[in-house]
Each structure stands twice: as structure tokens, then as C-alpha cells.
Structure 1
Amino acid sequence: MKKLAFPQLASIVAILLYTLLLSCKSGEKLYNKGRYDEAVNAFVKKLQRKPQDATAARLLPEAYRQAQGMREDRVNSYLRSNDDLKWEHVRNEYRSLQSLYTAIHSSPAALKVVQPKDYRDAITGAQENAAEIRYNRGMDLLEKGDKASAREAYDEFGAALQLIPNYRDTKQRRDEAFQLGVVNVAVSQIEVRSTYFQFSADQFRDYLIRNLQQRNINQFVQFYDERVVKNANLYPDEYIELRFFDFVVGQTYVDRIERDVSKEIIVGTTKDTTGKEINLYKTVKATLYITKKTVVSKGLLDYRITNTNNWQVLRTDRIPGSYTWLNQYGTFKGDERALSDEDKRLMGGVDMAPPPPTELFMEFTRPIYDVLARDLQSFYSRI
């Protein structure tokens, strides 16, 4: 084992003494500031390290008495109040007192000067009362029979289980509240005027439903394909109707442009009368023949959310979307040096066929999908 040099040993001893002194002073400061729980813990730690410390032994009983009195006063205040959830506050106070009990029992020296009270039975009683209150609130809400109250009941039963797991039949009641509180939403099939695009429209709808389900926007909202609802004999609470309106796919425009270009270039150098070298310039020219093919696809999606119980329209909107495919190519006559870099990029291109109509359909609906998904997430997150 390596021996410490005297300066190192002295330094370590000095640090330990300073820490002990600081701990004692910290406990006194906390006590003088009325932070009695923290003072108790500080004095206990001091007695764990130095069981004979007179200051900690003298102040610990008083700090504990003050902490106990302060928290029991709060308990009595809560018990006199009309707050439905007072037993949860009472439990928290008892828990704080029990933590002091545990801390003091961790130090034999601390136990010699103070005998803390065991609050385990008090905590158990408070938890049982608190759980009963939460349970009864949940049952009262369930009896109202509406979805909003059922969702509140679900939270109440959840709070009861947090207090006492397996309390009575709370799990069963919470499941019942969840089922009553859920909003089942059916998403309609999308009808388009051309059967050629029906498959693409179905893909749009299917992807939307999967995305809404995976996002888990709200635990109380469940999305279904309209076909699933019919086959399972489910009765949806809300119905999202989707319809593509006034769409055009593959509208083609061809523009042929003829454009003259010119540029001054340096062709050499010469000297002036003073002998200074100067550049010689020449203007070069060319004619560009550019073909620009533009294929435009665009349309509108109407959507409407309806409450199926009273057929009230909850939300309606129309979302535009568009996609433009562009191909440009060209040739030129004349001096290539007259062309700009952008002009050169157009030269030598070829006439390309646009994507197939089904792909164009998916492209113009992509921005529609993004807006629709955000709208539905915003709408259903507030339920």
C-alpha cells in the first residue's frame, strides 16, 4: 500500500475537518431559517460522521419537534378544508414525516437524543381515504353517461390505482370508462370521377388511416377504415368524408422559345501609344432554340367531419394541392462562347416522357395529405 506524504495527509485531514465544520454550520443555518426538515437531515448526517458532536445532538430534537409540529399543523388544516383531494395532501405530509423517521433511525447517535414517530399507519389510512375519494368521483362521473365525463372518470380511476394498486374493482371500472370515453372515427372511401385513379385514391386513404393510428394522437380517439367498420358492425361516433374535387392530372404545355444571345469576349491583347498592354474584345453571337415541356397536375380535396349521433358538421375544409413536372432541352446555332452556364446546361437535353398519371396523381396529393394530417391531428388532440 502506498503511503501518503505528510503534506498530502495534512491536506486531507484539513478538508475533512472543514467538511464537518461546514456541515454543522449548514445545519444551524437551515434551523435558523426555519427549514426544519433539511436541518434534521443535516444534523443526522453530522451525527453519523461524528456521534459525539454536541451542537448536532442539542439541536436535532428541537429541529425534529419543529418539523413535526409544522407538518401536523398542515395536516389539521387540510382535514378542516372542503378540498375533495385533501387526503392526498395529508398523505404527502405524513410521507415527509416518515422520511424523517427513517433518517433518524439510520443513526444510533441520533436515536439517543430523539425518538421519532412512526407514521406508516397514518400513511396507509390517508391513502385508503384518498383512493376511496378518487374511486367515488370516478363512479359519479361514469353515471353521467357522456363521453367527456367517462374520460374524466378514467383519470380518476387511474389516480386511485396510483394510490393503491388493485384497489377494489378500480381496474375494471377504468377499462369501462375508457370504452365509454373512446371516440370511434370512420374514414370514408374516396370516390373519384375516374376509375383509373381509384387505386391511387385508395392508397392515399389507406396511408392516411395508418398514419393517424400510428401517431396515437389521442388515446381516446380510434380511427377505422370505413370498410372495417361495416364488416365489424361497429357504430362510429364520427365520420370523416373525403372527396377529391375538380382535379386535373397531366395537363401538358409545350413552349418553343427562340432567343438570341451575345457576349463580349477577349480575343487578344495589344499595346497603346504609351506601351501599356490592353485587351482586344470581340462580340460573339448565337441563337438558342429551347423546348419547354410543363406537365401540371392539381386538385382539391374536400373533407368533412360529422357527428353521427346528431349529424352535426364538426369541421369542414377544402385543401388545394399541385405538382408541376418540367423538362427543358435545346439546341443552338452560332458561337458556343456566347452561351451562359445556364444556357449550356440546357443544350444537348432530350425530350423525356413525364411520369405516368398515377404517379402524378400521388405527387399532387402529397401536399394535400400533409395539410390534412396536421388538421386532423390538431382537431382530435383537443378531444
Structure 2
Amino acid sequence: MKQLLPILFIAITFAACRGSRSASYGDEKDLTTLISRLNKKGADDKIIADLQQVYNNAYTKSMQRLNNYQYDPAPEKWNKIIPELEGLHRMYETVSQSAYAVRLLKPANVYPQLISTKDSAAADYYQFAVEQLNLNTRENNKEAYYAFQRAQQYVPNYRDSRVKMKEAFDRSIVNVLINQIQYDQFGMGGNNWGWNQYANRDRQHQANIIRDLGGQSSTTNPARFFDEYQLRSMGAGPDLVVDLVWRNLRFDQPLDQSRTYNRSKQIETGKDTSGRPTYTTVTATVRVTRRVLNADADMNVIITDAATRNQVKWDQLPSEYRYTYEYAEYSGDKRALDNNDLALINRGSNQRLPTKEDAMAEMMQRIYSNLVNRIRSTVSW
């Protein structure tokens, strides 16, 4: 890149009188349109004037930005310089579609500088990554991983950056213990609500969470997820511990709410002496019972550093379950009822109500994705 700087300063001096419009996607699009028109119509004075203005203004602003970027800290400055050079190269390729435009504009070919700049960027990112890797903390290993990755993006297979990426990833792997779900209350509505009642169900939830986080073979995050038995069988200890605790459990007794309404309908009951139908009004009263059951709870997600005992995260995920069931009875003439009334009446009043276990399963389902994502985001980079 040391060879590029003098070229850039010379270009700035040369371009200083060329205008002030910034190079952008819009400029490139305008340039493409004008070159296409030039190829179709030939040396049209208006097209030529517009072409010179668009190219010169875009080129000037681009070179000014490149000059400013030289003073930004490395290696981040390459993330600005390289896209700018790529834009200039695209402009060169667009102009090169017309031999007349090439003679008229004499576009700058920055491709050699682009290649050498990418090599400089890869070298800087590689050196930065090595320095981070030598510090050997999880956060520094993360910085190293992405810096090696950036070096790879600028120059594919740059040195041993692919191997170093894996080293940075492997150094960052933490063992995460997902404990079995716990309950902080054991009395609700006079009935015992202990987690032992639902041990099989909660063990399944625990297994599902570990599986959906990637288990022991996660490739997207430098973390491995275990239950207590799995860690013990490996003779390993956790780096992070995840406790999942249901709190503020509430399971209301079913509440019946009633409403009453009347139906009336005219029905044909015969014909008069002239053969015309005669009607009679029939009525019925419908009494609807709406049975309501409410349940609420808060899932607490507590993530602790096993070595320091410091809490890394404590989130509370509220969940609720609402169950309603309606049935009806009537008095009067059944012929006054419509299909909706009959459907409610045919339901009956002995419908099985959800149990606490049903409610807990529904509440877990409502927060499950959020729960898994909270754990994943905490342990990920």
C-alpha cells in the first residue's frame, strides 16, 4: 500500500478541478445508462457533456475519500478503502464498454492498486489477529477469529489464516451446563405443585433445549451444551451454568360466567283458505355458560460463571395460558334456535378441563424459542 499513496495524492491533484458530486451506486447507474446511450446514438453533444460530468464528479469525490481514509487506523481503514477502489474499478469497466468513451474520459485503471491493497489489508488483519490470539481471552479469541476471516475475504487462503481461525474458535469453546427446570413454589390452590410431579416432562424439555442449542457438536457457536450427567461422565466441569426456574406460578380455579339471550323466529304452520302460508312466532331462551381458566408464570433464565460465581445474565420471560369453553342450555321452542345455538347446546357441560401439567406445557411452548435464543445469544460471540 506504500506505493499506492503517492498515486492517490497525484490523482487528487489532477482531479481537483473536476467537480464535487460523490461517487455512489446512483453515479454508477447513471454512468451505465449514459454509456449505453452513447453506444446507440454516437457522439451526441448532450450525452457527452453528461457523461463527462457524471464520471469526473464521481471520480473526484471517490479520490477525496480515499485520501481521507489513509489517516484512519489500521486494519479497519481497509474496509473503507477497498470498497472505494472496487467502485472506481467498476466505473473503469463500465467506461471501457465504449472505445469512444475511453478516448474521451481516459478512465483510471485502479485494478493493480486494488489487488495490492487487498494484500496489504490481509497482512494487517492477519497481524492484528495474531496479536489478539496471543492474549488468549475469549473476547480476544473472538476478535482473532473474525480478523483471520477478514484476511481470508481479502485474499483467499491467505497464509495459514484458515488454520488459525479454527484455533481461535477451539480456544473459545465453553462447556455450558443446562440444569433441570426448577420451581420456586410448591403450593397453589391447595394442591401440591412440585417439580417432581413433572420430572419426566421437564427432563424432556431440558433435553430439547440442549439439542436445539447444538448439544456437544455446535459448529456455529464456540460452546458445547450438556446436562449434569453428561458432564460428569466426561470428567469435565462447566464454564457456564444455566438455571431455569419457574416463579410466580398461578393456576386459578375455573370461573363460570353466564349470559342469557332470547331467540325468536317465524315458522310456517299451515295455509289459509286461499292456499297462502300462515306463520307462527316461536321463541326460546338460551343460557350460555363460559368457563374460563387462567394460568401465569415467569420463567427465570439465570446464567452464572462457574469459576467466579458471577451472574452473566438474568432474564425473566413471562408466560400465560388462557382456556375458555362455552356450552349452553335452553328453554322454550327448539325451532327458534339457529345452528350456533344448537352447537353450543350439544357440547354439554362435562368437558375435561386442562390440568396444571397441561397449562405448564402450553406456557413452556409459548416461551420456548425465546428461551433458547436468550441462552444462545449469551454464550455466542
- The bucket for the TM-score relative to the shorter chain is 0.5 to 0.7
Equivalence map 1:93-242=2 (5 Å): 93-113=84-104, 115-190=106-181, 193=194, 196-213=197-214, 219-220=220-221, 222=223, 224-226=225-227, 227-233=229-235, 235-242=237-244
CA shift digits 1:279-298 (9 cap, x unpaired): xx9xx999x9x999998888
Structure 2 equivalent of residue 363 of structure 1: 359
Structure 2 equivalent of residue 310 of structure 1: 308
Alpha carbons of structure 1 residues 348 and 78: separation in structure 2 relative to 1, 3 Å? closer
Q: Is the 8 A contact 2:35 2:95 kept in 1?
A: yes
Task: Write the letter of the residue equivalent to 1:381.
Answer: S
Q: Percent of counterpart pairs with the same letter?
A: 18
Q: How far apart in 2 are the matches of 1:246 and 1:86?
A: 52
Q: How far apart in 1 are the matches of 2:319 and 2:371?
A: 14
Q: How far apart in 2 are the matches of 1:261 and 1:43?
A: 75
TM-score of the two chains, using structure 2 as the length reference: 0.61
Unaligned runs of 5+ residues in structure 2 are 1-17, 184-193, 267-280
Alpha carbons of structure 1 residues 355 and 218: separation in structure 2 relative to 1, 3 Å? farther
Q: How far apart in 1 are the matches of 2:43 and 2:327?
A: 93
Q: How far apart in 1 are the matches of 2:49 and 2:365?
A: 73
Task: Write the letter of the residue equivalent to 2:352.
Answer: P
Moved more, 219-228 or 33-42: 33-42
Offset at residue 129 of structure 1 (A): 1.0
Q: Is the 8 A contact 1:221 1:380 kept in 2?
A: no
- The residue matched to 1:167 in structure 2 has which SS? coil
Q: How far apart in 2 are the matches of 1:224 and 1:105?
A: 56
Q: How far apart in 1 are the matches of 2:290 and 2:82?
A: 77
Task: Write the letter of the residue equivalent to 1:304.
Answer: I
Structure 2 equivalent of residue 83 of structure 1: 73
Alpha carbons of structure 1 residues 78 and 364: separation in structure 2 relative to 1, 3 Å? closer
Q: Is the 8 A contact 2:327 2:345 kept in 1?
A: no
Q: How far apart in 1 are the matches of 2:179 and 2:319?
A: 19
Structure 2 equivalent of residue 27 of structure 1: none
- Which is higher, the Rg of structure 1 or of structure 2? 1
Alpha carbons of structure 1 residues 122 and 322: separation in structure 2 relative to 1, 3 Å? closer
CA shift digits 1:69-112 (9 cap, x unpaired): 65445434433x14323344333343333334323332233344
Offset at residue 141 of structure 1 (A): 2.5
Q: 2:378 matched to 1:377?
A: no
Unaligned runs of 5+ residues in structure 1 are 1-30, 267-280
- The residue matched to 1:189 in structure 2 has which SS? coil
Q: How far apart in 1 are the matches of 2:209 and 2:49?
A: 71
Q: How far apart in 2 are the matches of 1:124 and 1:309?
A: 47
User: RMSD of the TM alignment (CA)?
Assistant: 5.4
Offset at residue 122 of structure 1 (A): 0.8
Offset at residue 125 of structure 1 (A): 0.9
Offset at residue 355 of structure 1 (A): 6.6
Alpha carbons of structure 1 residues 166 and 326: separation in structure 2 relative to 1, 3 Å? same
Residues matched between the structures, number:
329
Offset at residue 127 of structure 1 (A): 0.7
Q: How far apart in 2 are the matches of 1:297 and 1:206?
A: 25
